[in-house]
Amino acid sequence: MITEGLAWLIIALPIAAMLVNGVLVRAFVGSNSKYAGYITVAAIGGSFVLSLMTLATVMSDGPLHVDTHDWITIGGLNLTFGLMVDQLTSIMLVVVSGVSLLVQIYGQAYMHGDKSYTRYFTYMALFTASMLGLVLSGNLIQIFVFWELVGVSSYLLIGFWMDRPTAAAAAKKAFLMTRFGDFGFLLGILYLYSQNSSYMDISTLYHEIEAGHIAVGVATWVSLGLLAGAIGKSAQFPLHNWLPDAMEGPTSVSALIHSATMVTAGVFLVARFFPLFEHSDAMTLVALVGGFTAVFAATMGLVANDIKRVLAYSTVSQLGYMMLALGVGAYAPAIFHLFTHAFFKAALFLGAGSVHHASGTFNMNYMGGLKKHMPRTYWGMVIASLSLAGLFPFSGFWSKDEILGHAAHVGTTTGNIVLALGLIAALMTAFYMFRAVFLTFHGEWKGGGEQEIEDAEKAGEPLPVGSAHSHFGESPWLMVGPIMLLAVLAIGIGFFSNPLVDIGGIDKHAFAHYVTHNHEVFPTSEAAKHAGSSPELNVPIAVISTVLAIAGIGLAYLMYIKGSISPQAMGARFQPLYNLMFRKYYFDEMYENVVVRKGFYKYVADALRWFDEHWIDNANVHLSNWVSRIGKSGALVQNGQTQTYAVGMVVGVVAVVAAFLLWG
Amino acid sequence: MGFRMFDGLLTITVFLPAAVALLVTLFARGENADQQIRWISIGATVVTFVLSVLVFVGYDQSVGGIQMIDHFERWIPIDALRSSYLLGVDGLSAPLVLLTGILGMAAALGSWRIKKRVREYFLWLLLLETAVFGVFVSLDLLLFFIFFEFELIPMFMLIAIWGSGRPRYSAMKFVLFTLAGGAFMLVAILAIYVTPDVNTLAMVSIPELGITGIPELMAGADLAAPAALIFGFFFIAFAVKLPLWPVHSWLPDAHTDAPTAVSVMLAGVLLKMAGYGLLRINLGFFQETQGFTIHDVAGAMSIVAAISVVYGGIITIRQTDMKRLIAYSSVSHMGFVMLGVAAVGSSAAETSAGGLNGAALQMFTHGTITGLAFLMVGLSYDRTHTRHIPHLGGLWKKMPLIAIFFLIAGFGSLGLPALSGFVAEIMVFLGTFSVWPWATGVAAFGVVLAAGYTLWMVQRVFFGERPASPGLSDEVYDNLTDANWVDMIPVIALAAPIFIVGIWPSVVTDMFDLGIQAVLR
């Protein structure tokens, strides 16, 4: 059904939309043209249809065989490009193009009236194309190419309202911090390439690993490099703190960044090179980074007041979940969680945008009581929150439980540590999500954007980002529709895509079987089983995690609805801890003030600059003066006056030419 | 004596700018003289650009070797001198000829607002273009040297008269540095000249003319001076010009004080003369010399390259003048050229070809990318009259086109894929890593630094808000206008190759590879 040409079209359609919007529409129609939105939606809709066709093809016929093409062929350097269309790709394609399509539809209303509406849809098309290109890439260099393009499009989108200094700063921060990870990624690529240039091709790499041609040491170093890239892109500790700031972009952008694109790229990278990671000694590190981040990010989510930041921390935490799953070898559960998470997280972000539409603020302290004004958004967000909290029988429950069950099953120390971390994170997740829901939709209305602006003016503080006038009421259908659709997926997609038993037409463990049914990645059924092809429901774990989730929700209920526990009193009682979490463990301060300003600027850059100006430049000047002195004494024409020298040169040339003409 | 072969295209390409410049200078008269000079000069560079395209396209890759030869024996009628007028292109020089054509046109077009002493300005600018073309197509060592040095005169005039800041100081510094380097080169040339076994000044062998070039003759020959010394003297000349740490300090001053078009030419093509010299002479001549070959110092080159990249990058971060910032970034980027050349240290010629090709491509891409960056700074400076970054801010709102193309140049400079800078850098890295892993690993950190300084500048200048004070006055800020269509022509001319080479690199790399393979023999 799908051919190579059609697979290329998945990338080409949004790229075409970008070019048409960015050049033609912008130049000849206008910077606020509704056609830009239509074009992007149509293109991504086309990609979505093709992605579904790809999924169907791979489901029935297995991975598509695609040839590679030469990109640069010179001497000893042969770089190719080509596609990889396997199970993992097909799942990612559907998730990326599907969520992106809904976000684009939502954006038609959310961005309505923005003076740079055309630019928004230009960037969105580029963003989607880059991510689709990333998941389709058949070789490592090409992955890096699209990886960087994802980075740059997120830079442009986070800084979309670039006249806000905070947005400009957040965009730069996102790009720079991920670049640090990319440095490691690049070194990993270089090291692997130096072993054998044919390893750049992923299929070849799979075969070579299976054939045992790659030493564990090599695999470990390369995996560490790739992991560094993944840590940057997926905002894992210690490169996590760009993501909450990335909220400066339009909310619909956040929805896409946090659900399907950008941050999942890191997890995808580890999944794509899963055989290499499994072959290496880096797996424990992957698991521990993921497990630690899952809890670490969740603690910051407990106390954040900005609804988008709460969601951002939850994204970091959930990505940690996926990482820890990959780290303990739970390949299928990790992909499954990526899959379910994309839908409920997109619903939550789109919901947050809808809430902002009504309340004029993102600060939950100024919301409250919105439930009766926007019931559809409310229910959409509640369902998505239940799913995120991992309550039976919502999607999140199934995927989260598989991860925890797998961690318990491996039985190693690492497995037990990350299991404990995962359970703690589950409790926190339930708490902070329902804290957010209760603060936003329940209780009394606390004034919204107007109140926030008034307070800020009173306190003489800068105006909070995104403050606007509130106007009660449900958001338009273009916004609510995608939220409701995603909520439906948040309810059912978990169970129905990967059921515990055969249900009419859908096999037992269909999803897990499908993603592990790849002989290149999992050559034996034993390997596939080990990677979670047929997960068992671990009942004790399921019960414990459900209890924890309910406890978290209950605690949030007691604190924010019943008021039987006062959040203020709790905050006061644990003041140092509260401050630590509220100030994000001072990581921003540490990186910006200590590492960059004090360390790098002062002791490295300024010192070098001083050295350059006072030593290198002086020495150079002295040296050249010295040369010119020699010139003065040595040659008549070269008396140090450049003008004379120039005249001498011209005269000389003229004389030579004249001589040539006369005697030639 | 006399012409032994004359294709003509290269001679015309080289001398057309100079000829037009001289004619216009002498004959343009009357009230509209400045306007005439301006447009005729620009027209000349456009024609020259077309000619450079013809050279690039006309080079037959299936044949290879030296093509479009213009050969006039003993153009200086002194037998003992053995110098002949020998022009020709191969795969290495043809793309650089194209680059010169593009940048010469962009520089002239970008100068259409010049009001001061228009006549002389265009005279020097066109003479400069001729000199640079001459360097890339000369295959006679003396001729090469003459063009290499001649370029100083127009550069000195252009910086000293039309510059800003401390133009005379900077112009003098530029001249003295290059001159000092040139002195070393002259000695090196003399050493080759007085070596009895090497009885030619031809820089390459041309079988169809029966010319055996210096590279072959120097192989195993008894040289008049130790090979290491000759190599070192050439190397010093090119290291200054490239420039390499620690002899880079003329570059920031020259760039900062030069007028826009001159910065474009300086960054775009003048620095490439040094990279070209490194490949053609240091690499071409010293592969099989007695007692010493380039392979012996490849490790040292990789270390100096890594220092240049990181040192340049770190200092760039602390610059507050837009032009000075880009100038220092050039030090960092030209370090990649050196790093690619260091790949020659590999025992397998196959491996070194990757790095060397990367170096060649880095020259091409840096020319277009940095040329574009300087052009955009110039357009912005024309309007705001300041390049001091803390005084600027929020310019995107007022001049989106300038901002967008500046951003493209910036992304090119930080190695964003789909733009040409990435291709060159990845080729250098891939080619050199297996030979010098540590130096390459350190140099690769340059891409993080590049992201730092580029995005910092973009954020401060184009994003955010106008600083309250002491920024631009309301009067200036409110009247800022975006680039008009005349301004955009050179911008597009420079931006197009950045995208084309970024997406379809083999259009240039195949050509470079032919040249590199021939140099490597």
Q: Are B204 and B166 in contact (CB under 8 A)?
A: no
Lowest mean pLDDT: which of A457-471, B15-29, B113-127? A457-471
Q: How far out from the chain centre does Cα B53 lie?
A: 17
pLDDT in tens, B241-293: 988 888 888 898 889 899 989 999 999 899 999 999 999 999 988 888 888 88
Rounded to a whole number, what is the distance in Å from the CA of A624 to chain B's nearest CA? Answer: 6
The secondary structure of chain B in percent helix, strand, coil, rounded to multiples of 5, reads 70, 5, 25
Averaged confidence pLDDT in chain A: 84
Q: What residues contact A295, with CB distance under 8 A and at least 6 apart? A: A317, A320, A421, A424, A425, A428
List pLDDT tens digits, range B170-188: 888 888 888 888 889 998 9
pLDDT one-digit tens code per residue, A115-146: 888 889 999 999 999 999 999 998 999 999 99
Contact B455 A175 (CB under 8 A): yes
Inter-chain CB proximity A176 and B448 less than 8 Å: yes
Distance of CA B289 to the CA centre of its chain: 28
Q: How far apart are CA A541 and CA A407, in angstroms?
A: 10
pLDDT range class, residue A464, cuts 50, 70, 90: low
Amino acid in position B504: W
CA angle B24, B29, B32 (to 5 degrees): 100
Q: Which two tokens stand for residue B394?
A: 């929020």
pLDDT digits (tens, 9 = 90+) for A508-537: 787 888 888 888 888 888 888 878 777 777
Give yes or no for residue A633 having a pLDDT over 90. Answer: no
What are the structure tokens assigned to A647, written together?
């005249």
Predicted confidence at residue B45, as pLDDT, reads 93
B5 touches chain A (CB under 8 A): no
What's chain B's average pLDDT?
Answer: 88
B180 shares contact with chain A (CB less than 8 Å):
yes
Strand B2-6, strand A77-82: pairing: unpaired
Least confident of A458-462, B54-58, B188-192, B453-457: A458-462
pLDDT level of residue A106 (50, 70, 90 thresholds): confident
* Confidence (pLDDT) at A231: 92
Query: Which of B1, B149, B175, B176 is best to mutate for the A interface (most A CBs within 10 A)?
Result: B176
Q: What is the pLDDT of residue A662?
A: 64
B417: which chain A residues are within 8 Å (Cβ-Cβ)? Answer: 144-146, 148-149
Q: In angstroms, rounded to a whole number, what is the distance separating the alpha carbons of residues A364 and A303?
A: 11
CB-facing half-sphere around the CA of A397: CA atoms within 13 A: 25
- The two most distant CA atoms of chain B are separated, in Å, by 71
Q: How far is B162 from B378, CA to CA, in rounded Å?
A: 13
Lowest mean pLDDT, pick from A108-122, A285-299, A642-656, B447-461: A642-656
CA distance A327 to B298: 42
CA of B358 vs chain A CAs: smallest distance (Å): 10
Asked if B28 reaches chain A (Cβ–Cβ under 8 Å), the answer is: no
Contact A164 B464 (CB under 8 A): yes
Tokens of B115: 């009001």
Which residues 6+ apart lie within 8 Å of A542 measured at CB?
A: A392, A397, A401, A405
Q: Do B349 and A628 touch (CB under 8 A)?
A: no
Do A76 and B431 count as a contact with CB atoms less than 8 A apart? yes
> SS3 string of A518-570?
CCCCCCCHHHHHHCCCCCCCCHHHHHHHHHHHHHHHHHHHHHHHHCCCCHHHH
Could B353 and A77 be called an inter-chain contact, meaning their C-beta atoms sit closer than 8 Å? yes
Q: Is B314 helix (H, G, I), strand (E, B) or coil?
A: helix
* Rounded Cα–Cα distance for residues B477 and B396 (Å): 12
Contact B224, B212 (CB under 8 A): no
The pLDDT, as a whole number, for residue A13 is: 94
List phi, psi (to 5°) of B470.
Answer: -100, 65
In tens, the pLDDT along A148-166 reads 999 999 999 998 888 888 8
Question: Which two structure tokens, joined as six digits, stand for A477?
Answer: 């259908």
- List pLDDT tens digits, range B183-215: 899 989 988 888 888 888 889 888 888 888 888
> With an 8 Å Cβ cutoff, are A76 and B437 in contact?
no
Q: In angstroms, rounded to a whole number, what is the distance separating the alpha carbons of residues B235 and B233?
A: 5
Question: What residues of A are in contact with residue B509 (Cβ under 8 Å)?
Answer: 72, 74
Inspect the interface and report whether the beta carbons of B75 and A660 lie closer than 8 Å: yes
Does the pLDDT at position A269 exceed 90?
A: yes
What is d(CA A341, CA B360) in angstroms, rounded to the nearest whole number?
47
Partner A contacted by B447 (CB < 8 A): yes
